[in-house]
Amino acid sequence: MPFGLNYCCRPVVVFWSWLLLGIGLLGIGSSPLLAQEPVPPEVPAAKETPLREQTIYIPYSKLRSMFEKEGRGVFLAYEKFQELWNAAQAATRKLDEIKPPLGALITESESQATVQKDVVQVAAQIKIDILTEGWHEIPLRLTDAAIREAKVKDEAAKIIFVPEQGYKLLIEKKGKEPEQILLSLVYCKAFSKGAGTNSVQFDAPQAPVNRWQITISEPGIKVLVHPSLATNDSSAEIKNSDAVKDPAEMKDAPKETKVEAFVGAAPQVRIDWNPKAEGAAGQMALTTVQVRQEVVIEEGVMQTKAYLAFDISRADLQELTVEVPEGQNVVNVFDPNVQKWEKKVAGEVQTLTIKLFQPARGNQNVTIEMEKFGDDKEMAEDMGRKDFQAPDIKVLNVARQQGIVVARLASSLRGEVTTRNALLQIDAADLPAPLAGQDWPFAYRYAAHPYSLTISAEKVRPQIEVDELVEVYLEPQQTTFDLLAMYNIQKAGVFQLELQVPEGFEVRQVLGREVAGAAAVVVDSHHVDEVLLADGKKAKTKLVVNLARKALGRVALWVELQRRQEDANLQTPTGKKSVLDLTIPRVATAKLLRTTGRLMVYAPESLRINPTETKGLRAIAMSEAAQGIESTRGGRFAETRPFLAFAYTQEPAQLQVDAERRQPFITAEQLLFVQVESGVAKYEVTFNYNILYSGVKTLRMDVPAALYEQKELRLPPGAMKEKKLLPQPADVAQGDVALELSSDAEFLGPNVIKFVGERKLAEMQVGQSVGIELPVLRPRGIDRHTGKIAAAKGETIDLGVEGIPEGLRPIDPQRDLPAANLPAVPSRAFEFTDDWTLKLVASRYELEDVKRTSIDRAFVRMAVTRGDETTVQCLYRLRSAKQRVAIILPKVVGAGSAFDRQPLRVNNIPVPLEKDQNQFYIPLTGHTADEYVLVELRYTLPNYQSKLVLPEFPENPAVQQVFLAAFLPDERKLLGIRGTWSEEDDLRQSRSYGSAAGHSDDQLLAWVRSDVPNSQGLENFPTQGTRYLYSALRPGTGPAGVLTLIAVHKYVLWTAIVLLVAGVGLALTWRPMCNRMWWLGALVVGVVLSSLFFPTFAQAVLNDVLWWSLALVLLGWTLHFFAWALPMVANWMTARMARAAAVATAVAAAATASTAGTTSAAPLPAEIEFKDAQSGESPPPTTSSFTKGHTDEGKEGGIN
C-alpha cells in the first residue's frame, strides 16, 4: 500500500546515515595520518578555592595612576553604564548646521569705462559676499579681455584662468561669519572700428546691481549701451545740442561725453558710439521718393493703396506734401512717425499735408489709402463696360519721383487697358519683393511724373450648368416633388438662384445639400414671385433663393414641394381613373448654359399608374435614373415604390398620368392549434390577414354553428367585434353560421384575428380512446387561403388520426411551425390549401417513473499538494426536474474548514450548500427541467488519499462520461492504478501539465460548459505537479467507482532501481559471461513486458536512474574484464620471449657441434623447461597452453 513522504524517506535516510557513519569510522580507524596522538593520563584537578569578597581602599590621589594603565578596568552595574552612556552621547551630539546654497556671490558691480586711443579700459569695483568657510572660486568671466590690475584689501588678488570659462578669483575665508570684500579690477579690450560706428563687447562679471559709466573724450558722441535697462545721457545731449548759441557758453561747455547705464545681470555688455551728424548747414533737404501704387477694381468701386518711401538727406523734414486727384476719397494716411494730416481741395486736385512727430532724415515711409465709387455704386445690370482711371499721385518738393503701378480686377470682372501714358509695362516676375508672388495682371513702371492709366472693365457672366434629379411621390392624399439641383458655376459666382415651380404647390423646404462631390449652398431666404403667363394671367411659379455666401464651383440645392388633393378615385377603389398633370419643377433655363435632368415617379401599390403624355421626356430604366447621383428619398415614403423613370434636357417637359385605386387583395393564413388534456380539448384559431392596395371595413368568417351557439368558440376581449349576419348569405355551408368581423379602423395591411374556445371530453380510462372533431373556420371574400393544423397533448395522452385525412398533408411539427406563437410543443401537424376534414383520436396511457436527474458530462480535478492536502473541483453539467439534488461527499469532508469560501456555484452564481443530518443538497431553484445547469463544487481533503473518491448522488441519476484529472507533486512517481477507469494520457508524450492529446484542461472545461450560459471563470482552480487524466463511462458507486493511485516518492523509487539493477549487476561481476548475458536479457524482457501490460509502471521506471545504473554495471564489468585479461596477456608475452631465447640457444649449440666435426647432429630436445633463476619456479605456460584457455570454472573466459 502506498505510504506518505515521511514514511517513504525514513528507510533511505537511515540507510545512508549508517553507511556514511561506517565509512567515517573505517577511515578514522585505518588511516595512520589521521590517527590522534596518545592522550596523556589525566592529572587530577586541584581543589577549587572558593571566592571571597574583599574591600580594598585606594587613596584618591593615587586613583588616576592606579586605573590609567593597560589591563585595568572598572566594573559597573548595567543601569549605571546606561546612564553614563546616554549622558556621553547627549554631550557629543551636535546640531546640524544649515549651510547657504552658495558659498559666495557677487552682489554689486560698478564699472567706469573710458575710451582711449585704441582700447576701452574699465575700472570696476566689485562687492563680493563670502558666506561659508574655506576656499572659494568666484567667476569673473572676461574671456576675451586683458586684466591689468586686481586687488583685494590693497593686496594682489589671486586670479586663475579656466579655458572656455574665463577668469576666476581664488580666495580663502577664515571664520564662520559671513564677510564682504571689495575687489578692485582694471581690465581693457580693443574696440572694433566700423563705418561711422565703433563697438566693443565685454563678458563682464554678473551682478544683480550692475552700473556702468562710459566716458568718451569727445563731445556730442551718441552712445548706445546693450542691454540698457536704464540710461542717463541727458547731460551730454544738452551740453552738445544745437541750442547752445552763446560763445561764452560754448567756451564753458564740457569737452567730453558721459553716459550712465544700468544693465542688470546681463551676460554681455556692448557699447556702440559714433559722432552726432550735423548735415549740410544752411541748405534745404534733398528728397527723392519711390512710389508703389496698388489698384484693385471691384464692382462699382476702385481701391488704391500707395506706399511712399522717402529718402531725405542734407537736412531734416518736418512735413510732407502730396497731391491726389479730386475724385478720390482719402481714407487713411498712416505711419508710426505721422502726427496728423490735412486735406485741401483746390480745383481738380487734393493736397495732403502730412506732419511728422520727429523731423525725418534718411528713410521715411508713408502709406495712403484711397477709394472711388462709381456713379451708380455698382456695375450695370446689362453688363455694360465702365472705365476706371488709376489716380495720379504727385509728391511735392522732391527732386525725383519714381514708382510702380500695379492693378487687378475682382474675379467677377474682366477688362483691358485702354489708355497708358509714361508707363512701361513690366513682367510679373520682375516685381519687387513686396509684390512678388502675387497676382497682378497689370504691372507698370514710371520714371517721372506725370503718368496716366485707364482700364475698361465689365462684369463677367457666370457659366452655369445644372444636373437635376426630380422625384415625384404620388399618394392618394397628396403629391410631393423633390428637386435636387447640382450646379456647376464657373467664371463668376452668384448670390441668387431662380427656379420654376408648378402652380399650387407649397414650398416646404429649401436647403443646401452635399451630394456627389458638390458642396451645399448656404441658403439665406427664399420667396415665390408672380410671373405673367402667355395667356395674360399671373401665377406664382418663380422661386427665388437668396444665398448667404457666393456660390461658385460645384454646389447643390434641394427643394421640397407638396400639394394636398381630395380625389375620390384615388382614395377609394371606384374603378374610375383620374388624370394628373405633373408639371416638373426645374431651374430657370434663361441664364443656364446647359441643363440635364432625370425624373423618377414613385407611387404606392394601391395606385395603378399609366403615363398618357410624355412631352420632352425619354423613358429610361430606374437604375439609369439613379446612376451618378444619390436619391433624397431616405427613409421617407416607405409605402411607395418606383414606377416610372424619364430623362429630359433644356426643352420644356410635361408629364401626364392616369391614376386609379386598385381593388383590395386579401390573403389569409390560418393556424389551428388544439391542445388535448385530460377531459378537455382547447382550441386556438389564428388568422393572419394581409390586405393589399385598399382597405376594407368588414371581414366575413363562417364558423361551425354548434360551437358558436354553445359559445365554445369566441373572440377574446379587445378591439375586434363580431356580429351575426342577418339574413344569412346564400353560400353559407350547412352547419355553419356567417359572422361579420369589424374593428375601430378599416382593415389594411397585416391584421391578426384570433378565436379561442374549448370542448369538454368524456373521461378517458387507461387504454381507452376518444374521438375529437376539429372546428373548421372558413374565411369568405378573400383571394387566397392557406393554413396549418397543430395538435399538442398531455403527458399521459397519445394522439392519432381516425381514417384518412382529406385535403391535408403531414408536416414536421418541430420545423414547419412558428414555435414562438404556440402555447405548447405540438406532436402532430398538417397543412392545407383548400377544404379539409380531420378527426383526432386521443388515447390515455399510464406513465412509468423515470430518472429525474441526468448528468451527461462531468469533469473532476483533484490536486495533491506538498502539504499532503487534496483540493477538489467537481464540475457537472446536468438537467433535473427536482428543485434539490442530493449529494454525498467523502467521509473526510464534514468540517467547515474543508470547504472553500464559496464551495457551490450554479451557472457561476454562488449558492448555499444545503445540509441535513446525513447528506448535502444542491439547490436548483429557478431552473427548468429542459435547460442545462452547470454545478461547480469545491472542497479540500485534509490528508493525502491514495484512493480518489468522487462525490456520489444517492438518487441514482443517469450519469454519462466522467473525466478525472489527478495532479501529483513532481516528487511522487505513479506506478499504477486500480479501478474501473481508463487512462486517457498518451504515453508517447510527456506527463507535463496539459499534455494529454486532445484532452487538455481548457478543452475539457469548454466541453463540460457547452450550451450553458454564464459559465465563465472556471479556470481559476490552482493546480501544480504532474497531471494524470482518466475517464469512465457511467462509473459505479461506492468502492466500484474509486480510483486508487499507487505512487511512491521518487527517492524511494530511485533507491530501489539502484539497489536492484546496480546491486544485482555488480554481484554478477564474478559470474561467467553467459550468466551475465542471461540476466541482461531477462532485464530487457521484463522492461518490454512491463511496457505492454503495465505502461504506467514502465514509464516511471524507465528514467535516467535506470540508465545510469546500467551504465555503472557495464563499467564494473569492463573494469573486471581488464583486471582479468591484463595479467594473462603479460604472462603470455613473457612465455613467448623465453621460448624464443631457448630456441636461439639450441640452434647456437647445434651449430657449434657441427663445426667441431661431429658426424651426426644431436636431435633438439622435444621440450625445454625454463625455470626462474631466482625462485626456481617454472615459467608461465607456453602459447599452446595459453590458447587452450583456462579450465578453471568461475574465471573470466572459463568453461561453464
Residue 487 has pLDDT above 80, yes or no: yes
Lowest-confidence region among 177-181, 225-229, 349-353? 225-229
pLDDT of residue 619: 93
Q: Work out whether strand 784-793 and strand 665-677 pair parallel, antiparallel, or are unpaired.
A: parallel
Average pLDDT, integer, range 527-545: 88
Architecture per CATH, domain 665-844, reads as Sandwich (2.60)
Strands (E) located in 217-347: 221-226, 230-232, 257-262, 269-275, 286-298, 301-325, 329-334, 338-346
Average pLDDT, integer, range 6-32: 38
The model's confidence at residue 52, banded by pLDDT at 50, 70 and 90, is: low
Q: Work out whether strand 338-346 and strand 884-887 pair parallel, antiparallel, or are unpaired.
A: unpaired
Amino acid at 843: S
Q: What is the pLDDT of residues 439-452, one digit of tens each?
A: 999 999 999 888 99
The model's confidence at residue 323, banded by pLDDT at 50, 70 and 90, is: very high
Q: Which CATH number applies to 853-1051?
A: 2.60.40
The model's confidence at residue 279, banded by pLDDT at 50, 70 and 90, is: low
Q: What is the pLDDT of residues 1111-1123, one digit of tens each?
A: 888 888 888 888 8
Contact 765, 844 (CB under 8 A): yes
Q: What is the pLDDT of residues 736-771, one digit of tens each?
A: 999 999 998 889 889 999 999 988 888 777 778 888
Place of cell 574484464: 1121
The model's confidence at residue 34, banded by pLDDT at 50, 70 and 90, is: very low
Average pLDDT, integer, range 1014-1033: 83
pLDDT of residue 1187: 40
Average pLDDT, integer, range 216-222: 83
Residue 147 has pLDDT above 80, yes or no: yes
Architecture per CATH, domain 104-275, reads as Sandwich (2.60)
Higher model confidence: residue 768 or residue 784? 784
Lowest-confidence region among 26-35, 208-217, 793-802, 952-961? 26-35
pLDDT of residue 339: 92
pLDDT of residue 595: 92
Lowest-confidence region among 94-103, 199-208, 483-492, 773-782? 94-103
The model's confidence at residue 996, banded by pLDDT at 50, 70 and 90, is: very low
pLDDT of residue 390: 93
Residue 161 has pLDDT above 70, yes or no: yes
**What percentage of the chain carries pLDDT values higher than 90?**
34
Higher model confidence: residue 1090 or residue 316? 316
Amino acid at 306: A
The model's confidence at residue 276, banded by pLDDT at 50, 70 and 90, is: low
pLDDT of residue 990: 42
3-state helix, strand, coil in the chain (%, to 5): 15, 45, 40
Per-residue DSSP letter, 393: -
Other C-beta atoms lying within 10 Å of the C-beta of residue 298? 17
Decide: pTM greater than 0.85: no
The model's confidence at residue 36, banded by pLDDT at 50, 70 and 90, is: very low
The model's confidence at residue 1164, banded by pLDDT at 50, 70 and 90, is: very low
Q: What top-level class would CATH report for the domain 463-661?
A: mainly beta
Q: Say how far residue 365 (Cα) sits from the centre of its chain.
A: 60
Is the domain spanning 286-459 CATH 2.60.40? The answer is: yes
The H-or-E segment that residue 35 falls in is none
Contact 682, 758 (CB under 8 A): yes
Burial of 143 (0-12, 13-18, 19+ CB in 10 A): middle
- For 1153, how many CA atoms within 13 A lie in the half-sphere containing its CB? 13
Lowest-confidence region among 39-43, 179-183, 190-194, 845-849? 39-43
Mean pLDDT of the chain: 82
Burial of 780 (0-12, 13-18, 19+ CB in 10 A): middle
The model's confidence at residue 92, banded by pLDDT at 50, 70 and 90, is: low
Q: What is the pLDDT of residues 803-832, one digit of tens each?
A: 888 899 999 988 888 766 788 888 899 999
Residue 614 has pLDDT above 50, yes or no: yes
Higher model confidence: residue 704 or residue 1077? 704
Residue 479 has pLDDT above 90, yes or no: yes
Going across the sheet that includes 870-880, the strands are 909-910, 899-906, 933-941, 870-880, 853-864, 958-968, 1026-1033, 982-983
Contact 1071, 1198 (CB under 8 A): no
- CA distances in angstroms from 962 to 20, 65, 948, 999, 1029, listed in the order given: 51, 96, 14, 13, 11
Average pLDDT, integer, range 398-408: 94
Contact 1147, 1161 (CB under 8 A): no
pLDDT of residue 238: 38
Lowest-confidence region among 377-386, 699-708, 1105-1114? 377-386
Residues of the chain with CATH 2.60.40.1730: 104-275
Cell of 1038: 461506492
The H-or-E segment that residue 927 falls in is none
The model's confidence at residue 574, banded by pLDDT at 50, 70 and 90, is: confident
pLDDT of residue 10: 39
